Chain A
């Protein structure tokens, strides 16, 4: 496909302090074996985009390790392929970037030297499953300057402040854009994904340099909503916005519902790719008991698991009971330990007989490499 993909690994560093304390938002583990970056990457690859750059900000070690040469996404290519931009200084732009537009200024040369006609900008904290070909066809049909993906959904005051909301006329052209409002109700909520012609994006960046703009949502979407043609493309499949530990927990648990599992992983859009780990299949011992759970490979389960998500390489000892919890890779749950509503980050170790209790509306987080 004639499009260049640009993924922002962490635009939302205000939230997710627990899971993103040592990693980019894009590297947050999700769904038993994935990291958040896998979902935008899968959308791009499954749509035929074969040139993608990832703009990172800080803590990008685990993201770089995960993405590597891009071969697990079939993005280790002679032409195109994947490129990761760590914070990057150009001219007088030193230090970390502030906002998407500021970040784009620094990769202007990369954008200008690309031969693709369209550009897809995407964040990493929104999970959805789409073929961008349909969106680009719509973008062309509408002769839009910017096509914004959105989903019509309910939000409340707790979550609205992390969202961009669009108002549209009857032709679905945006006439109002609210950035991080405090409100509740049913709205056209942006998926923080925009499609535009490459020349248009270049012009936006030149303009931003001249006027010292740095924030794409405020300086482009809100400021220019009347002067440029922003069209909305409605999406209505699986959607999750990971913007807090609570939403991480709720959306993860939502994957245990058949309709969510089917629409995210078994849709006809294509598979979700991730880094191959070559772990052996999971082994269930004689006394194992497992109900309503998603379990990745490389685990050894000797105890009880209910309503939980277990990542790769986890060991759950004899008599241990794990309920309503998320155990991220290489967790080790000792014998007779009991966990309820816990998010256990990588390589954490719960010793024998420990009891850890959270609540579904206030899950308890255990840091990576902790020994409890």
Chain B
């Protein structure tokens, strides 16, 4: 089968465990963590690709891929069921001479060089499945071409105190990167890598092969490949992104990113750049005579008899009479029975919470966020 050449294809790294999300990623990979009432994290990079005109995406999976695989399906929810290209899931596979798990971000791409070569692309866009943002990758690609770069890294300004969590880079006036440090103790700038790279495929292939030969390498883009290219004098440029971007790698950041949706000045999903998702067929949500709903987001199929404030309610959630949900994220198909009070919590999918219970502490008490794992049944006894 001969495949049509693509100028740019995307490779989405979706194999990470996301261990800092604790019970939320015990059974599912981080990119499939639900977000924002009807989405999963992976909807953001996928929709960004589609909206940017990229129609060929390889999704590299490894950790707990089942839900992610069935969620993606044939890709039609993102209009990625294409005649040429479309979406393809790429787990590690066996070869004649060796077979191994993906041992790092760079190794995952290395193991799929044949996949990329099928499309004979000029450029490869590397993405990860841990961030919430709306971004037009075609503008970044245009910048990459204008700069005649070998690699372009998308960067965002982060607060100084958080800088040591990221890959931090320094660039000259033209935007050419002069220094790159992964998670530095003493960051030299506040420009953090967003983990979004565009490479010239020829160059990337060369450096993936070189890196693979280095026994010391951890086979990671940030720690190994980027520094190696920089040392070798390749042209690396930084591309500054000014929109909303949130790493949702921790419980707190996931909760906060959900809450950011409540203020349309911070992050608004309802305008232009559509985020596509695959969702259950459900009727409009119903709000009863005795409910109050204030400053919240509610998705389809929810049936609300209680009170909801400052919260994100996913589809199919049932909230019983006199139940109160405040400052919380209630994921799909959760049932909260009457008189139960929920504060400052993340309730994962399909949890059933009995009547007359108290979950979580009021946000004012600063006791942190309570997380209830998926499919739990919580009762009085």
A→B interface (CB under 8 Å): 31-33, 71, 256, 261, 264-265, 271-274, 276, 278-298, 300, 309-311
Contact = CB atoms under 8 A, between A and B. Distances in A.
Contact of A280 (B77, B270, B283, B293): B270
B285 A291 contact: no
B289 A292 contact: yes
B296 A284 contact: yes
A290 B287 contact: yes
A33 B284 contact: yes
Contacts of B289: 291-292
A290 B293 contact: yes
B286 interface: yes
B30 interface: no
10 contacts: A264-B283, A265-B282, A271-B280, A282-B297, A284-B293, A284-B297, A288-B293, A290-B287, A293-B287, A297-B38
Q: What's the dominant secondary structure at chain A's contact region?
A: loop
Contacts of A279: 270
B300 interface: yes
Interface string B280-309: 111111111111111111111000000000
Interface stretch (B152-160, B195-203, B271-279, B337-345): B271-279
B38 A281 contact: yes
Interface of B: 36-38, 76-77, 261-262, 264, 269-270, 274-277, 279-300, 312-313
A295 B281 contact: no
Contacts of A33: 283-284, 300
A293 B303 CA distance: 10
Nearest to A256: B286
A298 B299 CA distance: 9
A261 B281 contact: no
A253 B276 CA distance: 31
Contacts, number: 102
A296 B289 CA distance: 17
Contacts of B38: 280-281, 297
Nearest to B37: A281
Contacts of B284: 31-33, 294-297, 309-311
Contact of B291 (A264, A271, A278, A290): A290
**7 pairs of A and B residues whose beta carbons are closest in the complex:** A32-B284, A281-B37, A280-B269, A271-B281, A296-B284, A281-B299, A265-B283
A294 B298 contact: no
Given A290-B291, A297-B38, A298-B270, A31 B281 contact: no
A295 B298 contact: yes
B283 A286 contact: no
Contacts of B295: 284-286, 288
A310 B290 CA distance: 18
B82 to A, nearest CB: 14
Contacts of A261: 283, 286
Contacts of A32: 283-284
Nearest to A287: B294
A272 B281 contact: yes
A257 to B, nearest CB: 10
A314 B295 CA distance: 17
Contacts of A264: 283
A274 B281 contact: yes
Given A282-B285, A292-B288, 13 more contacts: A31-B284, A278-B277, A280-B38, A281-B38, A282-B297, A283-B270, A284-B293, A288-B294, A290-B293, A291-B290, A291-B291, A294-B285, A294-B286
A281 to B, nearest CB: 3
Given A284-B294, A290-B293, A295 B299 contact: no
B270 A295 contact: no
Given A261-B283, A282-B298, A300 B270 contact: yes
A315 B34 CA distance: 26
A147 B18 CA distance: 58
Contacts of A281: 36-38, 269, 297-300, 312-313
Most buried by B among A32, A284, A300, A310: A284
A371 B70 CA distance: 45
Contacts of B287: 290-293, 295
Contacts of A296: 284-285, 300
A271 B298 CA distance: 20
A284 B290 CA distance: 16
A292 to B, nearest CB: 4
Nearest to A291: B289
B297 A294 contact: no
B258 to A, nearest CB: 11
A31 B38 CA distance: 20
Contacts of A290: 287, 291, 293
A256 B296 CA distance: 21
A32 B302 CA distance: 13
Most buried by B among A265, A272, A281, A310: A281
A268 to B, nearest CB: 14
Given A280-B269, A291-B287, A273 B281 contact: yes
A264 B264 CA distance: 34
B275 A280 contact: yes
A273 to B, nearest CB: 5
B86 to A, nearest CB: 15
Contact of A71 (B36, B76, B277): B76
A91 B66 CA distance: 55
B268 to A, nearest CB: 8
Contacts of A311: 284
Most buried by B among A273, A283, A296, A300: A283
B270 A291 contact: no
A32 B300 CA distance: 10
Contacts of B275: 278, 280
A264 B284 CA distance: 12
A284 B282 CA distance: 19
Contacts of A295: 284-287, 298
Contacts of B285: 282, 294-296
Nearest to A315: B270
A265 B269 CA distance: 27
